[in-house]
């Protein structure tokens, strides 16, 4: 009998929701009990004046907001003892607009006149420019060498993988070079690419540069429209593994218990891995915010609207919710 390949379960430990690393430790047993084998942590480096965790000043430093690098190493060791990998968010497309790196290495940045170019994205047909960020110049070999050193630093600290934020903003040939270099340092390092909203063919191109997983758009499928089955068939043909989610730090929270169950089951059925953001299991109401979230939110939301912890465990163990 052919066994179905086990799905990968990823818990998004949103750092600002838990605060200090000591608080992260208190979640490990609970997260492991639910069946998660990977902890994904959003950026933990010091941020710029916008206070967005994605506006990083220095990617090779951990913010004192969370603790010290020694405490982070202890946290990694504890996770590894419990059989849980830790993946960090790798922000390789941009830097905070007020990062000292811009003055120190202006050639690492794309300029528009006298100002660094701001990256952005399309939102409901409108271009949104992120004014607190400066676009990296990926045609500069010196910058690529620096990004390799960032990856090396965190691998030497002990992380097991990276979620590539804004992966579509970086040429696939650059990803190929970065990922190949990372695997010289740690042959088992995992890479998970985020290219939501891109045409499927572009997702394939990015994935082929060395990614183990790509983020899935299943969250936005209504269960009827043909675009998702068409995408899924293409990705299967290209042997691309997908990570689905019932919510993420970029989406609104589910409105009801029924919607949460539906989104969870749909992500499970249609993906090779499932990513659950902190708070989903308890039906938190507030969307995770890259600027405003604080540990106080955890205490204000608890005990939550419901508790899906057991159902998540059942799915992780291979038992359907139906």
Break the chain into its structural domains and give their ranges.
Answer: 8-89+144-316
- Count CB-CB contacts under 10 A for residue 124: 5
Q: Please give the angle made by the CA atoms of 184, 187 and 188, to the nearest 5 degrees.
A: 150
Print pLDDT tens along the chain (322 aa): 334 578 999 999 999 999 999 999 999 999 999 999 999 999 999 999 999 999 999 999 999 999 999 999 999 999 999 999 999 999 999 999 999 999 999 999 999 999 999 998 867 777 888 999 999 999 999 999 999 999 999 999 999 999 999 999 999 999 999 999 999 999 999 999 999 989 999 999 999 999 999 999 999 999 899 999 999 999 999 999 999 999 999 999 999 999 999 999 999 999 999 999 999 999 999 999 999 999 999 999 999 999 999 999 999 988 665 5
* Structure token digits, residue 152: 């090396």
Half-sphere exposure of 70 (CA within 13 A, CB side): 0
- Count CB-CB contacts under 10 A for residue 87: 21
Q: Which helix (H) or strand (E) covers residue 38, if one does?
A: strand 38-41
DSSP line for 275-289: EEETTGGGT--SPP-
d(CA 265, CA 186): 34
d(CA 274, CA 272): 7
DSSP 288: P
8 Å CB contact between 133 and 94: yes
Superfamily the domain 8-89+144-316 falls into: Glycosidases (3.20.20.80)
């Amino acid at each position: 009998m052919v066994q179905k390949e086990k799905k990968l379960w990823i818990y998004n430990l949103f750092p600002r929701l838990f605060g200090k690393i000591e608080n992260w430790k208190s979640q490990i047993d609970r997260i492991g009990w639910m069946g998660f084998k990977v902890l994904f942590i959003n950026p933990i480096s010091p941020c710029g004046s916008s206070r967005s965790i994605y506006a990083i000043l220095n990617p090779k430093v951990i913010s004192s907001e969370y603790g010290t690098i020694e405490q982070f190493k202890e946290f990694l060791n504890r996770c590894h003892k419990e059989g849980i990998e830790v993946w960090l968010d790798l922000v390789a497309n941009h830097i905070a607009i007020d990062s000292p790196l811009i003055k120190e290495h202006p050639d690492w940045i794309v300029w528009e006149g006298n100002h660094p170019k701001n990256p952005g994205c399309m939102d409901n047909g409108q271009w949104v420019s992120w004014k607190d960020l400066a676009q990296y110049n990926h045609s500069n070999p010196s910058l690529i060498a620096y990004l390799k050193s960032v990856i090396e630093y965190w691998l030497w600290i002990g992380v097991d993988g990276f979620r590539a934020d804004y992966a579509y903003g970086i040429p696939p040939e650059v990803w190929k070079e970065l990922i190949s270099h990372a695997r010289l340092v740690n042959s088992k390092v995992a890479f998970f690419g985020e290219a939501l909203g891109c045409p499927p063919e572009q997702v394939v191109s990015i994935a082929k540069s060395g990614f183990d997983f790509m983020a899935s758009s299943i969250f936005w499928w209504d269960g009827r429209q043909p675009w998702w089955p068409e995408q899924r068939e293409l990705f299967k043909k290209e042997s691309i593994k997908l990570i689905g989610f019932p919510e993420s730090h970029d989406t609104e929270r589910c409105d009801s218990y029924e919607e949460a169950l539906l989104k969870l089951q749909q992500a499970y059925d249609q993906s090779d891995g499932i990513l659950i953001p902190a708070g989903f299991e308890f039906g938190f109401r507030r969307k995770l915010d890259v600027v405003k979230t604080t540990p106080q939110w955890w205490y204000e939301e608890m005990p939550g609207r419901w508790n899906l912890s057991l159902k998540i465990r059942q799915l992780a163990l291979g038992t359907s919710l139906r």
